[in-house]
Amino acid sequence: MPVAVSPAPPLSEHLLQFIWQFRLFNADGLCTTAGEPVQLISTGHWNRHAGPDFSDARIRIGHTLWAGNVEIHLKASDWYKHRHPQNPHYDHVILHVVFDQDLPTDIPSLPCIVLQPRISKLLLRRYQQLHGSIDFVPCGQQAGKTNSLTWKSWSDRLLLERWERKTTDLQAWLRQTRQDWEETCYQGLAQGFGQPVNAGAFLQLAQSLPLRILLRNKASLEVIEALLFGQAGLLEGTFTDPYPQDLQRQYRYLRHKYQLQPLPGHAWKWLRMRPAAFPTLRIALLAALLHRRTHLFSHVLAAKDLQQLEQLLTVQPSPYWQTHYRFDKPVSRPFLPGKQMVRNIVINTLLPLLYCYGQQKAQPGLQERAMTWIGSLPPESNRIISGWHAAGIHADNAADTQALLQLKQYYCDEKRCLECAIGARILKGSCGE
């Protein structure tokens, strides 16, 4: 089946840098535009920041061995267009590598080589196919042909990248809470209870209602429910059932006592979701957890195995929510969130939190524990993972699915094929070897 593609993108400077780094061009008889022979000893280190594209290159030009920087452009005239002559960072460039020599004469004292006739047209077509693809992932069915060693190494790195991103968020929360790990754990758990579509609203709810207020009132589940539902903006209006009426009365008092400002009720999403994911039911479960468990983060640190972590989160809501999904709307047999929700929170909240704590406190054993545990959990099931399955990539555990989510969101969707181990192998013609 032919690959669906959109109009091919122009050749990018990033691709030319990639080609230079991996020497994906014919170097036989390589010479400068002035006719001097060129021998590449080292192409240098790719610089992803400001300054010349490659540093510490070692190149023999004629009879002289040069060490220094290499600058790469699509056109030779870009040297002037980018104002390099006025920038002292480019004073030590030893070689100018271009795709097209569009200047009438060479730049004085700067040797230049032209790669256009030396790059395979097949490589350029592969790049255009990847960047122009409108498939689920740019490499389509080719992804499934990647050898297991390449995929294992790449997936391990992707998982670490994903957790580093989560660690950045957690560190921001820690700064806001003045390094209070219990408060940060509470905020992370709240966000987890809101997954997938109400995560942001749940986080706002937790940040607007400090854990210390909930702990002062943890003896009464109904008071905790009043605080959470009221602060969520879900106790506005008129109710028929005595239960929400009682919560409403209690919240009016608590709001005045603690000087609380509730969220707007329209912050919550309800459309196109199963009732078990309704924010009302999830808030009821969070209330039950905060009522029945004390010092949640301490329990996370003390857990000896995954079973203890899952048991920590396994609670039943109050009786009202065992017959309702929303206020004043009884149902005969509601379907409560089950083990899958608990595992999603373990995967997306507790294990990254454990990893972050180990990193912050220089306790690598906790980081290793988090990595080991996520590798022993079954793979997640969602639309993105199903898409990968159709592309020939199968996940064996939750570590794999987290890596695939990272790959799809931050590489495939952004067409960062040159930075992807799979895309790089396809471009180098070695996919499946």
pLDDT by position in tens, the chain (length 433): 444 444 444 688 999 999 999 999 999 999 999 999 999 999 999 998 889 999 999 999 999 999 999 999 999 999 999 999 999 999 999 999 999 999 988 898 899 999 999 999 889 888 888 888 888 988 887 887 778 888 889 999 999 999 999 999 999 999 999 999 999 999 999 999 999 899 999 999 999 999 999 999 999 999 999 999 999 999 999 999 999 999 999 999 999 999 999 999 999 999 888 888 999 999 999 999 999 988 999 999 999 999 999 999 999 999 999 999 999 999 887 777 788 999 999 999 999 999 999 999 999 999 999 999 999 999 999 999 999 998 888 899 999 999 999 999 999 999 999 999 989 888 887 433 3
Residue 214 CB coordination number (10 Å): 20
Are residues 197 and 87 part of one domain? Answer: no
SS3 of residue 361 by DSSP? coil
User: Rounded to an integer, what distance in angstroms lies between the CA atom of residue 127 and that of residue 121?
Assistant: 10
Are residues 354 and 215 part of one domain? Answer: yes
> If residue 31 lies in a helix (H) or strand (E), which one and from where to where?
none
**Does 405 reside within a domain?**
no
Residue 376 CB coordination number (10 Å): 11
Burial 62-90 (b: 16+ CB within 10 A, else e): eeeebebbbbbbbebebbeeeebeeeeeb
Are residues 229 and 128 part of one domain? Answer: no
**pTM metric for this prediction:** 0.83
DSSP string, 262-319: PPPGGGS--TTS-GGG-HHHHHHHHHHHHHH-SSHHHHHHH--SHHHHHHHH-----G
Total structural domains within the chain = 2
Residue 375 CB coordination number (10 Å): 14
Are residues 195 and 113 part of one domain? Answer: no
Residue 361 CB coordination number (10 Å): 11
Are residues 344 and 201 part of one domain? Answer: yes
Domain span holding position 42: 13-132
Are residues 334 and 202 part of one domain? Answer: yes
The angle at the Cα of 71, spanning 70 to 76, to the nearest 5 degrees, equals 135
Are residues 186 and 127 part of one domain? Answer: no
120-162 pLDDT tens trace: 988 988 888 888 888 898 888 788 777 888 888 999 999 999 9
294-350 pLDDT tens trace: 899 999 999 999 999 999 999 999 999 999 999 999 988 777 778 899 999 999 999
**Does 127 reside within a domain?**
yes
User: Rounded to an integer, what distance in angstroms lies between the CA atom of residue 327 and that of residue 239?
Assistant: 8
**Does 148 reside within a domain?**
no
**Does 196 reside within a domain?**
yes
**Does 274 reside within a domain?**
yes
Strands (E), 111-219: 112-114
Q: Which of 132, 160, 193 is the last residue of a domain?
A: 132
Q: Are strands 54-61 and 64-75 parallel, antiparallel or unpaired?
A: antiparallel
> If residue 240 lies in a helix (H) or strand (E), which one and from where to where?
none
| Residue in this structure with the two tokens 């700067």, named with its chain if needed | 110
The residues facing 66 across adjacent strands are 59
**Does 322 reside within a domain?**
yes
Q: Are strands 93-100 and 64-75 parallel, antiparallel or unpaired?
A: parallel
Q: Which of 358, 376, 394 is the last residue of a domain?
A: 376
Residue 268 CB coordination number (10 Å): 21
**Does 152 reside within a domain?**
no
**Does 78 reside within a domain?**
yes
